[in-house]
Structure 1
Amino acid sequence: MTQLKKGITIYNQLPENYDAISINSGTVHHATQTAPAVSFQGFNYVPRYNDDAYVIKRDWRALNDAEIRCLQANGRRNDYNTVYLGDIPGKLKEQFQSLSLAGAANRDEVMEKLAASPEKTKALSEQLNAFLQPLANKQPFKFHCIGINFPNIELVACNTTKLPAGYKPQDIRYMGMHNDGTKDMTIYTANKAGNRISINIGEESRSFLFVNLSMVQAINMLKKKIDIVEHNVNIANIGRFFFQHYPDYPVLKIRQQPYQFYIAPTDNCFHDGSTLGSSTLDVTMVYFGNFQY
């Protein structure tokens, strides 16, 4: 395993502290590792991936002292060099619980539960804004989505916009470890895209997986392996090249209990989410902004 480098750090306010974080020895091409089977709401299938997807090795272990020191945030933390971890406030947690989202079988049921209690949903929105505004550093923020994933998906990110209406879960092709960079940015401007906050509002824990390297760090490492101009390495394909040439660079896994959040610069790092080991619907609430905790 390549030694962890000083890069994107973690500001950890979880009660579990660093016991919530584990590390592995890198990534492999998806074709070399069979995905765990999914069985939920009558669907039984083995998830499939995009052709060029890379997935996580499964040799997780606890962080050692040197790795913890390498990851700990300092006073220079900001929205592009730090992952923030914490619990949402008690009043906000109670507001989520009052909507009784537990037991939902799919996205439609989640939305129906929200729509069924307009007064509670309005109160939730007010509590969310009260929580998010101090984190937004006087910058605008916006609601992105309520994320819904099946249980026991090892890597959840996928693009369903290209699938036909009426698609089945087994039709999905998962992306594997990736960055969220778009055509509006480059490898060198991904650090200006802000970050996201994702709150776990499901019934079970989930995981946030990430590589603690910025896009600039990743491209500088690739320059030691290949001619990046000749290979036309860009924001859309840098993940494929990085995992091909640095398969032993470790991935970090953060266990996110219900009503815990992470804030992460997902345009500026390789990452994904995981519901592996769960048996109920995964539900998250996601906002985009320039958050700091």
Structure 2
Amino acid sequence: MASAGHPGMITDIDHPGLLDGLTLLLPSGAPAAGRVELSAGFLPASEAPCSTTYSEQAFVPRGPWRPPTCHERTLLYGRAAFGARPGDWIAVIPVPAQVLSAFTALRTAAAGGNEQTMRSLIDGPCGRTALVEAIRWAMTLSDPARLSVENPMFYSRTPVGNLTLTTGSHGQRVGLHVDSWHDSPLAARATAPNRLSVNLGHHDRWLLCVNAPLHVMERALRERGLLDGADGPRSGLGKRFMEVFPRYPVTKIAIHPGEAYIAPTENMLHDGYAQPHGQLDLQFCCRGYFRAEL
């Protein structure tokens, strides 16, 4: 049965609830209260505020947000099993003070909100020195058997209130999506490199994600006979899941200033969010085979 608001969307009569999927690892000793919230499901971006900034058929989280129930916390939080694959877990970790000190000038510029000043610093000696320190730290998080850091870079942008942050090559926001830098087949997505992202700004930013990895989404659709023609991990699978289960919750995880997340962005639907605050949202990102035993 199609919903009235979005032609082709299937009303999720058989709503699966929160599935047992990715394990969320939070900083040791840090309070979990208020760190994680769940949405009311997915919303076609065409029905959202600022819909003209989104690409066709994009999806965003549907409000309102709420704290997870006790049962949902049991499904979300845990400890990664020994030898867990990169695509099985998400971690939030503190960045050492000595590493953050290399970004002092960049963080000051972020507080000033001047994008031109920030770009000049990133492209100059200050940015290059900070980049080296960031890469060195990222290497200490890497699996010793696969010591590599791919595509290290800084991002800075001014949050303007959109429900998600990522903009595609076409200039429009893509909404919840799966990365495909390695373009792995579905069976190999859980072993693809994961992503390290450091919040270098002065305000919280949020990782938005679906806790069900791609193979769990695939199984949920296949068991209901709704997978045909949508098993492509690049975009088809995630889009079909959001169409079929529009009330499945998106998980929103707060990343405080001076914290980082490691996440399998090639194995899950995700995006970022930052509230408008007059400052730049500055982050360092790279990809690699980072360890769960942090």
TM-score (norm 2): 0.83
- Following TM superposition, by how much is the alpha carbon of 1:122 offset from its aligned partner in structure 2, in angstroms? 5.2
| 1:198-277 correspondence to structure 2 within 5 Å | 198-229=197-228, 231-235=229-233, 236-277=235-276
Count residues with an aligned counterpart: 269
CA–CA separation in structure 2 for the residues paired with 1:75 and 1:183: 24
Residues of 1 paired with 2:210 and 2:164: CA distance?
14
Structure 1 residues 232 and 245, CA gap change in structure 2 (3 angstroms)? closer
Q: 1:123 Cα deviation (Å)?
A: 4.5
Change (3 A) 1:254 1:205: same
Change (3 A) 1:127 1:187: same
Is the alpha carbon distance of 1:5 and 1:125 closer, same or farther for their aligned partners in structure 2, counting shifts above 3 Å? same
Query: Where does structure 1 lack aligned partners over 5 or more consecutive residues?
Result: 36-45, 163-171
Identity of matched residues, %: 21
- Matched with 1:80 is 87
Task: Look up the match of 2:101.
Answer: 94
Change (3 A) 1:133 1:18: farther
Distance in 2 of aligned mates of 1:219 and 1:182: 20
How many Å apart are 1:228 and its aligned residue? 2.9
Partner of 2:142: 136
Alpha-carbon distance, 1:238 to partner: 1.4
Which residue identity does 2:63 align to in structure 1?
R
1:12 and 1:18 in contact (8 A); partners too: no
Please give the residue correspondences for 1:169-188 in structure 2 after superposition, counting only pairs within 5 Å: 172-181=171-180, 184-188=183-187
Which amino acid is 2:92 matched to? L
Aligned residue in 1 for 2:114: 105
Aligned 1:151-166 pairs, distance under 5 A? 151=159, 152-160=161-169, 162=170
More helix by percentage: 2
Counterpart CA distance in 2 for 1:115 and 1:129 is: 16
Shift of 1:283: 1.5
1:48 aligns with 2:26: no
Q: Secondary structure at the match of 2:287?
A: strand
Secondary structure in structure 1 of the residue aligned to 2:215: helix
Structure 2 vs 1, CA of residues 224 and 279 (structure 1 numbering), >3 Å: closer, same or farther? farther
- Higher mean Cα deviation, 258-267 or 276-285? 276-285
Given that residues 211 and 268 in structure 2 are in contact (C-alpha distance below 8 angstroms), is that contact kept between their aligned partners in structure 1?
yes
One-letter amino acid matched to 2:53:
R
Q: 1:181 to 1:127 in 2, by over 3 A?
A: closer
Is contact 1:6-1:70 (8 Å) kept?
yes
| Secondary structure at the counterpart of residue 240 of structure 1 | helix
Is the contact made by 1:200 and 1:257 (CA closer than 8 Å) also made in structure 2? yes
Q: Secondary structure at the match of 2:155?
A: strand
Deviation at 1:183, TM superposition (A): 7.4
Compared CA separation, residues 54 and 114, structure 1 to 2 (3 A)? closer
The CA deviation string for residues 238-282 of structure 1, in whole angstroms up to 9 with x for no partner, is 121110001111111011122211000000000100113433221
Instruction: Measure, in 2, the Cα distance between the counterparts of 1:240 and 1:178.
Output: 8
Q: Is the 8 A contact 2:85 2:191 kept in 1?
A: no
**How many angstroms apart in 1 are the aligned matches of 2:249 and 2:175?**
15
Residue of 103, 122, 140 corresponding to 1:114: 122
Instruction: Give the conservation status (yes or no) of the 8 Å contact 1:150–1:281.
Output: yes
Segments ≥4 residues shifted beyond 6 Å: none
Of 86-95 and 220-229, more deviation after overlay is shown by 220-229
- Output the CA distance in 2 between the equivalents of 1:199 and 1:127: 13
Choose from 13, 18, 37 the match for 1:4: 18
CA pair 279-16 structure 1, distance change in 2 beyond 3 A: farther
Q: Which moved more, 1:67-76 or 1:83-92?
A: 67-76
Instruction: Confirm or deny that 1:127 pairs with 2:126.
Output: no
Which letter does structure 2 place at the counterpart of 1:233?
D
Q: Gapped runs of 5+ residues in structure 2?
A: 1-14
Question: 2: CA distance between counterparts of 1:224 and 1:89?
Answer: 45
Q: 1:28 to 1:143 in 2, by over 3 A?
A: same
Separation in structure 2 between the aligned mates of residue 130 and residue 200 of structure 1, nearest angstrom:
17
Choose 215-224 or 272-281, whichever is displaced more: 272-281
